[in-house]
Amino acid sequence: MADVVGEKGYAAATVADAIARAGVSRKTFYEQFRDKQDCFLAAYDADVERVLELVRSSGADAPDVLTRSRASVRAYLGALASEPALARTFMLEVLAAGPAARARRDAVHDRFAVLLREQVAAARRDLPDLAAPPDAAYLAAVGATDALVSRFVAEGRTAELPQLENAVLYVQLTLLGSGGAPVGEGGPAGGQ
């Protein structure tokens, strides 16, 4: 379903398309899912879990916050860049799948905000003088990242997503109060 939606868009995708792609019977489909939206949401949830686990585990053993953050950002952008249908489904088509899907997307943004909060908490253990950011800043960072990545996907520039590494890293590092600091590898943080 995610591949079909990524190629055709949510509105144009059909159960018949998903059945043909999966190589299963209509009966088998309806034994698993109520309808197209139910299948779409199951695919969305599975992809979210996969991406979140990849981001969470990337750089977990890194010696410092910058290296950990860079590894997480790189994993996120790389996963989306390597799977254009996933990127389109994850970033854009979920908005076309109705109120339940939009609510699910909001919950996913909340989960990414929690992940950022955990990363900042870990950084503050290493650097205790860092001030705690306002609670809403985590969701704001997720929203900023989503807006930037979504624009690239909508413009058909999914393969270029890794080029956003420094910009996304910059947004995340502002949570540590280092918004003006360079982020190393590749030049200043504000670069595209």
CA separation for the pair 125, 16 (Å, rounded):
52
Tally the residues of the chain. Answer: 192
Select from 1.10.10.10, 3.40.50.720, 1.10.357.10, 2.60.120.380 the CATH code of 34-176: 1.10.357.10
Query: End-to-end alpha-carbon separation of the chain, Å?
Result: 32
Q: How high is the pLDDT of residue 175?
A: 82
Q: Quick one: which of 119, 30, 109, 21 has its CA closest to 68?
A: 119
Q: How high is the pLDDT of residue 192?
A: 45
Task: Check residues 6 and 82 and name the one with the higher pLDDT.
Answer: 82
pLDDT category of residue 186 using cuts at 50, 70 and 90 = very low
What does the pLDDT look like over 153-166, one tens digit per residue?
Answer: 999 999 999 999 99
